[in-house]
Amino acid sequence: MESTTKRKIKDKKRRQKVCFLGPKATFTEMAAVKKFGHSPEYIPFNSIREVFNAVEKGASDFGVVPIENSNEGSVSSTLDMFFDSGLEICGEVSVEVNQCLLSKSVIGKIKKIYSHPQALAQCQLWITKNLPHAEVIAVGSTSAAAEKASKEKNTAAIASELAAEEYGLNIISKKIQDQPMNRTRFLVIGSLEPKSTGKDKTSTLFVVHHKPGSLFDALSVFKTHKLNMTKIESRPIKGKLWEYAFFVDFQGHKDNENVKKALIELKEHTLLLKVLGSYPEED
């Protein structure tokens, strides 16, 4: 299956297919367009699992899924997909998440605000200050909110600028989130293995022995080989009680000599080690 996908990607005449966690006009689509431009065919899916499945089956060349927000933390459902998936991480891309108030009405007439629960949480102070009497209603996505606001009178949505365009709404106010610095990082998944560029990152997933000090021993490998960890995250192993897997990102490419040595040593310290991919590090 992997080799078929690789062949397809090499076939330059065919239009590239990129799928992403939908619906359309969300921040994930903005990230996909930032990475791949306007020429690919874009396919939105309803869940992170469906994005992985489509890329695994070769129905799509690449997938784009959220991995982490700078205020809210990691997206567990993306991390958990890597336990079983054989896909590679072939890139990362981040976008500024600027929430906007979108409506067809003027601000004084807005009686209801629709948005995704996380977006509503991000704009709590702004809502309290500017629309204290509006009814706040949680829906499945910021795009679903924009669609509702485009159909119902005296309503607004909190969503992206892209959604304003997509659903014919006016941007009443920009950057209304309480934390002005708000970025989401996305992963590009596929079957490609990007070559070393000199400024790369490698993502790993491992499980250490269930005894005192074993995580420390595993991490000592990065220190020994002067590899800078950029991220460590723990996730429970499903079906095991209070046992964890670790996701560690570090600077370097798996083709570098010191990374190769480190990964061999890391394997000795772990029950399971998956190298999820080496890819260019975003600035």
Give me the least distance between CB of 180 and a second copy, in Å please: 8
Give dist(CA 174, CA 7) in Å, integer: 44
Question: Applying CB under 8 A, does 73 fall inside the site for a second copy?
Answer: yes
Tokens 């009178």 belong to 153
Indicate which single residue of 222, 269, 270, 277 sits in contact with a second copy (rule: CB under 8 A): 222
Secondary structure (DSSP) of 4-22: HHHHHHH-TTSPPEEEEES
Among 68, 147, 200, 281, binds a second copy (CB under 8 A): 68
| Encoded amino acid at 218, one letter | A
Please state the separation of Cα 283 from the chain's center in Å.
16
Q: Does 111 bind a second copy (CB under 8 A)?
A: no
Number of residues that bind a second copy (CB under 8 A): 36
Kindly tell me the sign of the dihedral angle through the C-alpha atoms of 258, 264, 268, 269.
Answer: positive
Catalytic annotation, pick one of 52, 82, 186, 222: 186
258 with 224: CB under 8 angstroms?
no
Classify 163 as helix, strand or coil: helix
Whether 224 sits among the annotated catalytic residues: the reply is no
Shortest separation between residue 81's beta carbon and a second copy, angstroms: 14
- Asked if 219 is part of the footprint of a second copy (rule: CB under 8 A), the reply reads yes
* 105, 83 contact by CB (below 8 A): no
Q: Active-site residue 184, yes or no?
A: yes
Q: Within a 10 A sphere around the Cβ of 73, how many other Cβ atoms? A: 9
Measured from the CB atom, the residue of 43 and 262 that comes closer to a second copy is: 262
CB of 273 vs a second copy, minimal distance in Å: 18
Q: CB of residue 181 vs a second copy: minimum separation in angstroms? A: 6
Choose among 68, 71, 57: nearest CA to 92: 68
Q: Which of 184, 202, 204, 270 is catalytic?
A: 184
How many Cα neighbours within 13 Å face the side chain of 226?
3
Cβ at position 148, least distance to a second copy in Å: 17
Stretch that binds a second copy, among 18-26, 193-201, 219-227, 252-260 (CB under 8 A): 219-227
Site for a second copy in 143-182 (CB under 8 A): 179-181
- Given the complex with a second copy, which of 61 and 92 has the nearer CB atom? 92
For every residue of 242-268, which 3-state class applies, written as one string?
CCEEEEEEEECCCCCHHHHHHHHHHHH
| Binding residue for a second copy, selected from 5, 60, 69, 142, defined by CB under 8 A | 69
Min separation Cβ 213 and a second copy, Å: 6
Q: How far is it, in rounded angstroms, from Cα 121 to Cα 177?
A: 9
Interaction mask 223-252, a second copy, x per CB under 8 A? x--x-xxxxxxxxx-xxxxx-x--------
18 in Cβ contact with 40 (< 8 Å): yes
| Catalytic residue list | 184, 186
Residue ranges in contact with a second copy by CB under 8 A: 68-73, 76, 179-181, 183, 185, 212-213, 215-216, 219-220, 222-223, 226, 228-236, 238-242, 244
